[in-house]
């Protein structure tokens, strides 16, 4: 082992003067020897000193010229000692690169001359012979012989040599040197006690500042943390959760039951995901369907209706629900099938819209919806419950703006003043379900339903400072974000 070789060597010798020579002598890599020296230095078994040596080594081009002579000398040798040679002839005798470099250097050295006043541009030698100092110097460097430093610059400039930095250690015994290093024991084991060798053991000092192993526990997704908090708010307000475990819905419950006309743009496949299989629903309450058809076509209950031919096949189309209000309509219909009792319902679940996706919108999101069904409810009750609900989310300053929904009248957009952004932020939508929706279900005439909705993603992104919804939801989520985000408290 490298450690034993170093300690044993130092038992007999004063010093390891060069770690690389030592590595070669004992058959280790220099890197391994340096690592062991660093470790032994840390335990004070040795004292290591860094050695840094800079030396010149030949580049590939330099190696070539050291072997066959510099380009200028090769060109000089190609010119006949007596007489002349046409420049074109000379060029043919040499490698183009050798000719190009050699010609410039040979002229610079005044080794050759050319007759420019004759068409053949005759070249002849100016000296006899030439001394190839470049090759000589390259050979001296290659053989680690002494050379004159002034001559180095020319070779550096021509990139025939590069500087190589060598790093190594010299090593001597340290204050805690021993020919063998006993590995400090980290644990007292059953075997130590049985063998009795615990008596000779040296224990590693306990490191009280060592950090514990990072705990890789589970992590809740921010959406689920905010969903849990919104659930708690609704439950504290006495609301019951609606069963939303059906992403697939019929157009009937998603649109027609809500008095949303069949020509409404939201019902177009550009906005809604319709299913191919199963493309239609088989289960609708026929009596109720008839009343819905009636209210769409010719109205009723003092409503004029829409006056169009309502089509059953349109209502039968299956889709991915575009809002959880589809579930609300199912729940209200169920409520109307028994003696009336007031109810407070909520839902938080995924809804799907065939819309262009961007930084803050995907083709699906989680809708939060609350509704209260009771006799004689007014818009004031809606405004009051919205203040109560949103104040529990930490939003106490609300403003309401008249809006339009096909299934609520009146409707209001909800705005909250965001202290951080210093501006009013749209935080949801709300309204009172229309009589054309409630009365065909069979609910008593004085029953009113106030309802509101918002998304789960928007508050989560704001609370967790996430500006791209793909960092929150979908296959590109950055799991480290899920792990590192702190618990974020809403409101109270
Ligand atoms: O969530 C929304 N905004 C929001 C909510 C909370 C929030 O908290 C921050 C900590 C401070 C911040 C922002 N919005 C509704 C408003 C806008 O973001 C809007 O651009 C996007 N809306 C979605 C619909 O987009 C296609 C959010 C989603 C939405 C809109 C309306 C409803 C539900 C979700 C509804 C409804 C409704 C109406 C009447 C009766 C029953 C349901």
C-alpha separations of 142 from 20, 115, 130, 156, 166 in Å: 19, 39, 22, 14, 16
d(CA 105, CA 337): 106
d(CA 272, CA 237): 33
For residue 278, is it within any domain? yes
Is the pTM for the entire model greater than 0.85? no
486 pLDDT tier (thresholds 50, 70, 90) = low
| Confidence check: pLDDT of 428 > 90 | yes
Query: Closest ligand 1 atom to the C-alpha of 395?
Result: 11
CB within 8 Å of 242: residues ≥ 6 apart: 324, 327, 328, 331, 345, 346, 347
With the most atoms of ligand 1 within 8 angstroms of its CB, the residue from 332, 437, 455 to mutate is 455
Token digits of residue 33: 């020897």
* Least confident among 33-42, 105-114, 166-175: 105-114
Ligand 1 pocket member 462 (CB < 6 A): yes
Q: What is the average pLDDT across 212-219?
A: 78
CA of 346 relative to ligand 1 center, distance in Å:
15
For residue 190, is it within any domain? no
For residue 311, the enclosing domain spans 224-484
pLDDT tens per residue, range 386-418: 999 999 999 999 999 999 999 999 999 999 998
Nearest-CA residue for atom 21 of ligand 1: 455
- The percent of residues above 70 in pLDDT, for the chain, comes to 98
Nearest CA among 39, 55, 56 for reference residue 4: 39
Residue 161, strand partner residues: 58
3-state secondary structure of 324: coil
With the most atoms of ligand 1 within 8 angstroms of its CB, the residue from 352, 427, 467, 492 to mutate is 427
477 pLDDT tier (thresholds 50, 70, 90) = confident
Ligand 1 pocket member 452 (CB < 6 A): yes
For residue 310, is it within any domain? yes
44 pLDDT tier (thresholds 50, 70, 90) = very high
pLDDT of residue 122: 87
3-state secondary structure of 60: helix
For residue 346, is it within any domain? yes
With the most atoms of ligand 1 within 8 angstroms of its CB, the residue from 454, 467, 472 to mutate is 454
CA of 244 relative to ligand 1 center, distance in Å:
18
CA of 429 relative to ligand 1 center, distance in Å:
6
Ligand 1 pocket member 348 (CB < 6 A): no
User: Residues 366, 367, 368, 373: is their CA dihedral positive or negative?
Assistant: negative
Ligand 1 pocket member 254 (CB < 6 A): no
pLDDT tens per residue, range 437-472: 999 999 999 999 999 999 999 999 888 888 888 888
CB 139 within 8 A of CB 73: no
| Confidence check: pLDDT of 5 > 70 | yes
For residue 295, is it within any domain? yes
Ligand 1 pocket member 347 (CB < 6 A): no
User: Residues 107, 113, 117, 118: is their CA dihedral positive or negative?
Assistant: negative
Ligand 1 pocket member 408 (CB < 6 A): yes
pLDDT tens per residue, range 219-243: 888 899 999 999 999 999 999 999 9
CATH number at residue 267: 3.30.930.10
Ligand 1 pocket member 431 (CB < 6 A): yes
146 pLDDT tier (thresholds 50, 70, 90) = confident
pLDDT of residue 210: 87
d(CA 164, CA 36): 24
d(CA 91, CA 112): 14
DSSP string, 226-251: HHHHHHHHHHHTT-EE-----SEEEH
For residue 80, is it within any domain? no
What is the tally of structural domains in the chain?
Answer: 1
CA of 230 relative to ligand 1 center, distance in Å:
14
Query: Closest ligand 1 atom to the C-alpha of 411?
Result: 39
CA of 427 relative to ligand 1 center, distance in Å:
5
pLDDT tens per residue, range 323-346: 999 999 999 999 999 999 999 999
3-state secondary structure of 294: helix
pLDDT of residue 324: 98
Residue with tokens 């950090």: 211
With the most atoms of ligand 1 within 8 angstroms of its CB, the residue from 453, 465, 467, 488 to mutate is 453
For residue 470, is it within any domain? yes
281 pLDDT tier (thresholds 50, 70, 90) = very high
pLDDT tens per residue, range 58-106: 999 999 999 999 999 999 999 998 888 988 899 999 999 899 999 999 9
CA of 299 relative to ligand 1 center, distance in Å:
31
pLDDT of residue 206: 84
DSSP string, 389-422: HHHHTT---EEEEEEEETTEEEEEEEEEEETTTT
Greater model confidence, 438 or 153: 438
135 pLDDT tier (thresholds 50, 70, 90) = very high
Taking each helix axis from N to C end, the angle separating 2-12 and 19-26, rounded to the nearest 10 degrees, works out to 110
CA dihedral 356, 361, 365, 370 (to 10 degrees): -110
Residue 350, strand partner residues: 366
For residue 35, is it within any domain? no
């Amino acid at each position: 082992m490298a450690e034993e070789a170093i300690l044993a060597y130092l038992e007999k010798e004063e010093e390891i003067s060069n770690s690389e020579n030592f590595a070669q002598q004992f058959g280790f890599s220099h890197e391994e020897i340096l690592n062991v020296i660093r470790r032994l230095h840390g335990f004070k078994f040795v004292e290591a000193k860094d050695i840094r040596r800079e030396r010149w080594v030949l580049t590939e081009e330099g190696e070539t010229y050291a072997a066959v002579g510099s380009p200028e000398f090769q060109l000089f040798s190609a010119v006949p000692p007596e007489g002349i040679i046409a420049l074109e002839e000379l060029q043919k005798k040499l490698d183009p690169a050798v000719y190009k470099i050699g010609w410039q250097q040979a002229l610079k050295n005044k080794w050759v001359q050319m007759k420019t006043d004759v068409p053949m541009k005759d070249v002849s030698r100016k000296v006899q012979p030439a001394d190839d100092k470049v090759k000589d110097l390259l050979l001296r460097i290659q053989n680690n012989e002494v050379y004159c430093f002034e001559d180095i610059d020319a070779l550096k400039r021509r990139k025939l040599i590069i500087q190589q930095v060598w790093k190594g250690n010299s090593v001597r015994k340290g204050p805690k040197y021993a020919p063998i290093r006993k590995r400090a024991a980290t644990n007292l084991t059953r075997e130590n006690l049985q063998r009795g060798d615990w008596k000779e053991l040296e224990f590693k000092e306990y490191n009280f500042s060592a950090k514990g192993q990072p705990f890789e526990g589970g992590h809740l997704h921010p959406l689920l943390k905010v969903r849990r908090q919104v659930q708690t708010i609704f439950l504290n307000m006495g609301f019951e959760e609606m069963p939303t475990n059906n992403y697939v819905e019929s157009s009937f419950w998603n649109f027609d039951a809500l008095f949303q006309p069949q020509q409404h743009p939201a019902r177009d496949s550009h906005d809604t995901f319709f299913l191919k299989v199963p493309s239609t629903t088989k289960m609708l309450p026929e009596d109720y369907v008839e009343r819905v058809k009636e209210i769409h076509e010719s109205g009723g209950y003092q409503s004029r209706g829409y006056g169009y031919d309502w089509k059953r096949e349109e209502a039968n189309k299956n889709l991915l629900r575009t809002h959880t209000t589809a579930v609300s309509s199912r729940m209200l219909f169920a409520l109307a099938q028994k003696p009336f009792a007031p109810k407070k319902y909520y839902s938080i679940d995924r809804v799907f819209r065939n819309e262009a996706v961007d930084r803050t919108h995907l083709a699906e999101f989680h809708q939060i919806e609350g509704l209260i069904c009771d006799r004689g409810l007014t818009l004031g009750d809606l405004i009051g419950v919205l203040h109560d609900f949103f104040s529990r989310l930490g939003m106490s300053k609300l403003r309401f703006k008249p809006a339009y929904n096909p299934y609520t009248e009146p409707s209001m957009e909800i705005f909250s003043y965001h202290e951080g952004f210093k501006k009013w932020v749209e935080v949801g939508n709300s309204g009172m379900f229309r009589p054309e929706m409630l009365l065909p279900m069979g609910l008593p005439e004085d029953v009113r339903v106030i309802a509101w909705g918002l998304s789960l993603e928007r508050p989560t992104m704001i609370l967790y400072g996430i500006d791209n919804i793909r960092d929150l939801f979908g296959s590109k989520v950055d799991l480290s974000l899920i792990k590192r985000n702190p618990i974020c408290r809403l409101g109270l």
